Amino acid sequence: MMTAALLEQLYREHGPAVLRRARQILQDEEEARDALQEIFLSLADRQPFEQRGGTTAWFYTRTTHFCLNRLRDNKNRARLRLERSESMPISAPARGENMVLARDVLARLPPELAEVAIYYYCDEMTHDEIAVLMGCSRRHIGNILERLHVTTRIPQCG
Amino acid sequence: MRMTEHAVRGPDCLSRLHCDQLLNGELEDRDDLKAHHASCERCTALLATHRRERAMFDVALHRPRPRRRWTAGIAAAAAAFGLWLVVSRDRHEASETRSKGKPTIAFYLKHGNAVRKGGPREVVFPNDAINFTASTDGPAFLAIISMDGAHKVSVYYPDGPTAAPLGVGRDQVLPLSVVLDDVLGIERLVGVFCDQPLSVDQLQAAVARDAALPRGCVADALMIEKRRAP
């Protein structure tokens, strides 16, 4: 199990990047801070990282998955509310059409496409770098990006 | 075209991941990246942005709470339990026996709606709530460690990485409550009073191994007996 001291160290080293990614993807400060806490608190029962070299990449992918799941959950909740004809507004805050659109697009995309979209458009990673991060071939990433271009246009990342 | 607040990334440029890896010391063998960023305006600016971001990062991490136990600040505890501890202390204050010397811990126990001062080998039940008090004649730093019937060691107090400061006084109510889990048997509660703010992990490890405490620390232990709820 991870000690409190090690958790604190990881938080100091990786907390800023996790919060930045959560802000980029969720486009909501409160949700991003929730994500930051949940991601690190979920580490408490985990074994310490053995390979230090991959820790930053691990936090990148973990944050990406966590935030995409959160966007999908939010979208599903909004859809259920609409289906039940409730009068509450959907959860996306009115902070500019592009932000709402970005969240909406990411939430609608298949998980793999959404993940690659973030790495490619927000992180400006190359095909090779994305392939290493996701543990697949460069060609596969190229194919996913082609599908992505056909499927949608990605709004600007914040 | 990919769009960020920084200039478009060239083929040799750093990604954000690279910047974070560099700052975390994970790319010590990538001399190519280090050499490039020193000569690239975009990468220098991006790395500087990351450094500033780290320097300004001031979001506190909430310490993980003990599994199947609940802790909260005294205000929340008071709200949840209807100020049970305050009322209880008023009732018990007159009959309190006080002694000087060795620092001690004690506790109040809430079972259902009834509150009482905990005694030696107090019989408790799952979901009972405990609020500790501590007494000391000199300033100290306190941690309270529990070893339950399954020999699992947990930190009950404080809710941070180091022992918490404690002023001089008798029966000082600590700002945390604990709701007991369903592990039955004898549970040992050890209050460790130290002359400096030592790491809670260090104190927890010493209690878990039943080893000598660090220099400058003394302990006071209580036993409770957790039984299945009637």
Where do the domains of chain A lie?
Answer: 4-151
Q: Which pLDDT score is estimated for A41? A: 83
With b meaning 16 or more CB within 10 Å and e meaning fewer, what string describes B14-51? bbbbbbbbbbbebbeeeeebeebbeebeebeebbeebe
Q: Global pTM?
A: 0.51
Segment B87-110 mean pLDDT: 60
Residues of B in contact with A125 (CB under 8 A): 15, 17
Phi, psi values for residue B145, rounded to 5°: -115, 140
Asked whether the beta carbons of residue B24 and residue A5 sit closer than 8 angstroms, the reply is no
The reported pLDDT for the residue numbered B129 is 84
Buried b (16+ CB within 10 A) or exposed e, A80-97: eeeeeeeeeeeebeeeee
For chain B, the farthest-separated pair of C-alpha atoms sits apart, in whole angstroms, at 78
Measure the N-to-C terminal CA separation of chain B; round to a whole number of Å.
69
Q: What is the pLDDT of residue A102?
A: 65
Q: In CATH, which of 1.20.140, 1.10.10, 3.40.50, 1.10.3470 is domain A4-151?
A: 1.20.140
What percent of chain B is predicted at pLDDT more than 70? 80
Q: Give the pLDDT band of residue B142 (cuts 50, 70, 90).
A: very high
d(C-alpha A54, C-alpha A65), whole Å: 17
In this prediction, residue B84 has a pLDDT band, given cuts at 50, 70 and 90, of very low
B178 Cβ partners below 8 Å, 6+ apart? B66, B69, B70, B71, B129, B130, B131, B132, B156
> Does the ipTM exceed 0.85?
no
Which residues in chain A have their CB less than 8 angstroms from residue B206's CB? Answer: none
What's the CA gap between A52 and A148, in Å, rounded?
33
| B41, two tokens | 């305006």
CB < 8 Å to B66, chain A? none
Amino acid A153: pLDDT? 59
CA A36 – CA A43 distance, rounded (Å): 11
Tell me what the mean pLDDT of segment B110-121 comes to.
82
Angle between the A127-134 and A138-151 helix axes, to the nearest 10 degrees? Answer: 110
φ/ψ of B175, rounded to 5, equals -80, 45
pLDDT at A154 (0 to 100): 52
In SS3 terms, B38-72 reads as HHCHHHHHHHHHHHHHHHHCCCCCCCCCCCCCECC
Which of A4, A15, A125 lies at the smallest CB-CB distance from B200? A4
CB A40, CB A10: distance < 8 Å: yes
CB A13 within 8 A of CB A49: no
Please compute the mean of the pLDDT values over residues B138-142 and round it to a whole number: 92
The closest of B129, B125, B122, B145 to B194, measured between CA atoms, is B145
What is the per-residue pLDDT for A21? 92
Residue-by-residue pLDDT tens, chain A, 158 positions: 677 778 888 899 999 999 999 998 888 888 899 899 989 888 876 666 655 458 899 899 999 999 988 887 766 555 554 554 444 333 333 344 455 556 777 778 888 888 998 888 888 888 998 998 888 899 999 999 988 888 765 554 54
pLDDT at residue B78 above 70? no
Predicted confidence at residue B90, as pLDDT, reads: 39
pLDDT at residue B79 greater than cutoff 70: no
Region B40-58: mean pLDDT is 90
Work out the minimum CA distance from B135 to partner chain A, whole angstroms. Answer: 27
Q: Chain A residues with CB inside 8 Å of B145's CB? A: none
Residues of chain A with a CB closer than 8 angstroms to some CB in chain B:
3-5, 7-8, 11-17, 19-20, 33, 36-37, 40-41, 44-45, 52-57, 60, 120-126, 129, 133, 156-157
Q: Furthest-apart CA pair in chain A: how many Å?
A: 50
The pLDDT, as a whole number, for residue B100 is 54
Average pLDDT over residues B163-167: 90
pLDDT of B112: 79
**Tens-digit pLDDT profile for residues A114-131:** 899 888 888 888 899 899
Tokens representing A150 are: 């056909």
Angstrom distance (rounded) from CA B212 to CA B187 = 20
Token representation of residue B14: 């750093």
Helix (H) or strand (E) holding A101: helix A97-108
The pLDDT, as a whole number, for residue B193 is 95
Query: Mean pLDDT, to the nearest integer, of B96-122?
Result: 77
A8 to chain B: closest CA residue = B61
The minimum CA-CA distance between B63 and chain A, rounded to whole Å, is 8
Range from A111-115, B53-57, B112-116 carrying the lowest mean pLDDT: B112-116
Name which residue leads in pLDDT, B79 or A79: A79
Tell me the count of A-B CB pairs closer than 8 A. 79
Report how far Cα B16 is from the mean position of its chain's Cα atoms.
33
Q: Does B140 or B171 have the greater pLDDT score?
A: B140
